[in-house]
Amino acid sequence: MDDTFPDLGSLPDEELKAIIDRLTAEETEVSYRRRILHGQIDILRAELVSRLRLRHDEGGTVIHGSDVDRLTEILSGRVGGLRPVPDEEPAVPRDEGEDAPA
């Protein structure tokens, strides 16, 4: 998909409708693929949990040092491509004329 956005003022109504239809269809495809991926992830996680429970019940180790190291990387935001989620929305500067919330 072309990431540039057309000059909307120069497009006729029919072309705008065509763009909306195309983007809506693309969004539907992406949404479907996302749901499929989430389903596959859920199945894999359920299998992993089942294996870990069995290992625990048999007296085996469930958590390893590498698991703790990986969790530390994730929580500190050092994982490539991932960033920690901020706790709050960034503060938006207020106009001087606006009243502060009570």
pLDDT in tens, 66-83: 888 888 888 888 766 555
Domain of residue 50 covers: 8-75
63 located within any domain: yes
Let me know: does 55 contact 62? Beta carbons within 8 Å: yes
87 vs 58: which has the higher pLDDT: 58
Look at residue 61 and give its three-state secondary structure. Answer: coil
90 located within any domain: no
Let me know: does 52 contact 62? Beta carbons within 8 Å: yes
95 located within any domain: no
Count: domains in the chain: 1
14 DSSP assignment: H
Whole-number percent of the chain with pLDDT over 90: 45
100 located within any domain: no
pTM (predicted TM-score): 0.53
56 located within any domain: yes
87 located within any domain: no
41 located within any domain: yes
